[in-house]
């Protein structure tokens, strides 16, 4: 049993190091000194930043990602409430099981919760990942007047769905809302690609130059976090200006 605890700690620490783009030497410390290395990593890189209860929950999720779903399915079987059904749908989303997520979001959207913003936005995102772009647009019509929808991820996916349905003029109006300085780097890269694909090269170049300038003022942690996005930004800029 103790052996599996150590393996679990290693997996969690490696996962945390990967998602936070930590230094490569941490992988050596974690795997060459399994117990001590993991403890050192947790103390210096995790516990100073997160609550211990959250860490324990995340370790369990890494070791057995389906456990959360099974536990929530049992809760729904015992009490099929709005919150239990929503939690189950979110758990399926975390596993990228969008078909089951859609089923449960739709069941949650009933009765007095039929217009719930969060649930509808989550359903919209799940539909997008299954390429059901017409359903994304339908969901957006329900929540588009909500203040939370403005400049949200759901709104951006709505814009992308309009583009997929060859409604590019409408799409551009929506997609441009995400263009806010020093944020939304990945979404703004996608917007630049949208401009390029629609032969709006001047707009694409201007946006990419703006992103490049912002990258010069980013902190080191943010540079690590958004490294891959900025590689793509520079690559696209070179394509346009070549």
* Alpha-carbon radius of gyration of the chain: 21
Which DSSP state fits 11?
H
Domain boundary assignment for the chain: 2-63, 65-178, 183-242
**Rounded distance between C-alpha atoms, residue 242 and residue 234, angstroms:** 12
Provide the pLDDT confidence category of residue 93 given band limits of 50, 70 and 90: very high
Provide the pLDDT confidence category of residue 213 given band limits of 50, 70 and 90: very high
**Rounded distance between C-alpha atoms, residue 194 and residue 171, angstroms:** 9
DSSP 24-81: THHHHHHHHSHHHHHHHHIIIIITTTS-HHHHHHHHHHHH-TTHHHHHHHHHHHH---
199 vs 242, higher pLDDT: 199
Q: Which residues of 149-163 are buried (b: 16+ CB within 10 A; e: fewer)?
A: beebebbbbbbbbbb
Angle at 224 between CA 222 and CA 228, to 5 degrees: 110
Alpha-helical (H) ranges within 110-200 are 117-129, 133-143, 153-164, 168-175, 185-197
Closest CA to 8 of 43, 51, 56: 56
Give the per-residue pLDDT at 23: 72
Provide the pLDDT confidence category of residue 227 given band limits of 50, 70 and 90: very high
- Are 133 and 165 a contacting pair, CB within 8 Å? yes
The first and second tokens of residue 55, run together, are: 């860490």
Provide the pLDDT confidence category of residue 31 given band limits of 50, 70 and 90: confident
Give the per-residue pLDDT at 22: 66
7 vs 98, higher pLDDT: 98
The first and second tokens of residue 187, run together, are: 């979404």
pTM for the predicted model, two decimal places: 0.74
Res 38 pLDDT > 80: no
Topology of domain 65-178 in CATH is 1.25.40
């Amino acid at each position: 049993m103790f052996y599996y605890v150590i393996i679990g700690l290693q997996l969690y620490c490696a996962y945390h190091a990967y998602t936070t783009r930590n230094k490569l030497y941490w992988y050596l410390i974690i795997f060459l000194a399994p117990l001590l290395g993991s403890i050192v990593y947790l103390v210096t890189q995790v516990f100073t930043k997160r609550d211990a209860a959250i860490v324990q929950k995340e370790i369990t999720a890494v070791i057995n990602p389906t456990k959360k779903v099974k536990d929530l399915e049992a809760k729904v079987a015992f009490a099929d409430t709005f919150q239990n059904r929503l939690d189950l749908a979110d758990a399926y989303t975390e596993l990228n099981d969008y078909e089951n997520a859609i089923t449960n979001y739709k069941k949650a959207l009933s009765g007095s919760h039929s217009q719930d913003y969060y649930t509808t936005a989550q359903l919209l995102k799940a539909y997008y990942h299954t390429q059901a772009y017409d359903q994304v647009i339908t969901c957006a019509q329900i929540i588009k007047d909500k203040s939370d929808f403005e400049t949200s991820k759901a709104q951006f996916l709505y814009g992308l769905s309009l583009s997929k349905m060859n409604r590019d003029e409408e799409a551009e109006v929506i997609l441009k809302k995400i263009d806010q300085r020093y944020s939304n780097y990945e979404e703004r890269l996608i917007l630049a690609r949208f401009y390029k694909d629609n032969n709006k090269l001047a707009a694409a170049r201007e946006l990419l130059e703006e992103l490049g300038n912002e990258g010069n003022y980013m902190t080191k942690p943010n540079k690590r976090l958004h490294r891959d996005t900025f590689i793509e930004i520079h690559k696209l800029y070179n394509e346009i200006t070549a």
